[in-house]
């Protein structure tokens, strides 16, 4: 064995185990590679899930024929893709809001320095405090509404004690007034960033309420809605917070948040498909569904005869005929209008199966219209 081989053999036997910091860096590197792959496949997959979501909703309102008919034509397929894009965009925005807010607030700190332990801790205190308050709130009386300021109190106490260490800029000496202003800014930003979890909670609340009503398990509904979902949607922001704590540089904020957030859009649509019916907030955000009664002018005379077979409220004043109805589906001029709103909490597979498929003389008290049939009055 040569002296060079002996040296190599000695090094291999006495290899120094990686430190905790190196292990974290290795895992972050692996995670980055995985997210880079996810970034490339995300657009087509998000459309596929959104398209499946749209089809499931049309299936539940017994109008899946619209999906098939539209998919067979170029224009119809384009509108379906646009509807899927709208669903993907809105859901991704709602799910990403907590992490986006956290990323924006973290940009306040000097990118050329690591975020120190005290700043990292105050964000964790805000997270734990808000999660505790949100999970306790359903079980307390209105007289204890003051509990919602508890996160601000806890972060303020910590900020007061650690005010000298909440600076994350150069080592320049600052006045006491600057330190007080900086401490208040950090306290407000940490609470503002975490408060963003309220958006996904509202997003999932309708889905989980329907699930809880069917399985009669209110506790699991609240645990999933108020604990697991906020933590999941904050995961990208927490990952970025960890990156700023262990590395210098601002990193590519948009890419970190977009890569990690895109994962949750798949989870969202998967949950929507399981916990049917679809998310009311998501459908209302894209204006595919509207639970408010709308007024329309009938433009085509032949539509009057069709509407007579339903219980849709109709009024005639000479040649002007108007109806008042609820929009169950609306996109690119194609509408399904009904005499009653769709109650998501009571909407299930069992009730859907009892209904007939929608056609021009439907017993569902609904009428399908195309562009040029109606003119909607502005509110």
| Domain-wise residue ranges, the chain | 22-282, 289-376
193/81: higher pLDDT: 193
Cβ neighbourhood burial of 69 (10 Å; 0-12, 13-18, 19+): exposed
206 pLDDT higher than 70: no
Q: How does residue 154 score in pLDDT terms, banded at 50, 70 and 90?
A: very high
- When pLDDT is averaged across residues 11-17 and rounded to a whole number, the result is 48
The per-residue pLDDT for 355 is: 41
Q: How does residue 200 score in pLDDT terms, banded at 50, 70 and 90?
A: confident
Residue 49 near residue 269 (C-beta atoms within 8 A): yes
| Partners of 376 in beta bridges | 296
Output the CA–CA distances (angstroms, integers) from residue 24 to 36, 62, 123, 231, 379, in the order listed. Answer: 18, 51, 20, 20, 56
Chain centroid to CA 218: 22
**In percent, how much of the chain has pLDDT > 90?**
6
Tell me the pLDDT tens digit for each residue of 36-46. 665 566 666 66
E-state strands within the chain: 290-298, 313-317, 320-331, 334-338, 366-369, 374-376
21 pLDDT higher than 90: no
367/209: higher pLDDT: 367
13 pLDDT higher than 50: no
Is the overall model pTM greater than 0.85, yes or no? no
171/60: higher pLDDT: 60
Residue whose token pair is 């980055």: 32
- When pLDDT is averaged across residues 7-33 and rounded to a whole number, the result is 59
């Amino acid at each position: 064995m040569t002296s060079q081989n002996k040296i190599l053999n000695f090094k291999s036997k006495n290899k120094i185990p990686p430190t905790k910091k190196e292990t974290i860096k290795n895992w972050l590197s692996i995670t980055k590679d995985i997210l880079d792959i996810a970034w490339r496949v995300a657009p087509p997959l998000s459309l596929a899930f959104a398209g499946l979501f749209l089809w499931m909703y049309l299936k539940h309102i017994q109008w899946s024929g619209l999906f098939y008919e539209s998919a067979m034509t170029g224009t119809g397929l384009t509108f379906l893709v646009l509807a899927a894009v709208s669903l993907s965009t809105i859901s991704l925005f709602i799910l990403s809001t907590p992490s986006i807010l956290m990323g924006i607030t973290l940009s306040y700190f000097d990118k050329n320095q690591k975020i120190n332990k005290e700043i990292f801790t105050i964000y964790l205190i805000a997270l734990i405090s808000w999660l505790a308050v949100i999970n306790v709130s359903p079980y307390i009386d209105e007289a204890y509404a003051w509990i919602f300021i508890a996160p601000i109190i806890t972060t303020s106490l910590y900020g007061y004690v650690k005010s000298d260490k909440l600076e994350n800029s150069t080592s320049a000496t600052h006045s006491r007034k600057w330190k007080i202003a900086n401490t208040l800014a950090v306290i407000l930003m940490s609470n503002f960033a975490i408060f963003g979890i309220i958006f996904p909670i509202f997003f999932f609340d309708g889905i989980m309420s329907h699930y809880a009503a069917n399985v009669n398990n209110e506790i699991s509904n609240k645990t999933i809605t108020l604990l697991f979902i906020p933590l999941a949607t904050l995961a990208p922001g927490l990952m970025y917070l960890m990156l700023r704590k262990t590395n210098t540089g601002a990193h590519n904020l948009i890419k970190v948040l977009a890569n990690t957030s895109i994962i949750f859009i798949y989870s969202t649509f998967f949950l929507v498909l399981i916990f049917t019916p679809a998310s009311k907030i998501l459908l209302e955000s894209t204006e595919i569904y509207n639970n408010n009664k709308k007024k329309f002018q009938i433009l085509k005379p032949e539509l009057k005869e069709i509407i007579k077979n339903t219980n849709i409220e109709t009024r005639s004043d000479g040649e002007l005929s108007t109806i008042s109805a609820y929009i169950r589906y609306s996109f690119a001029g194609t509408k399904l209008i009904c005499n009653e709103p769709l109650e998501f909490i009571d909407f299930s597979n069992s009730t859907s199966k009892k209904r007939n498929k929608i056609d021009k003389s439907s017993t569902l008290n609904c009428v399908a219209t195309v562009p040029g049939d109606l003119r909607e009055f502005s509110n």
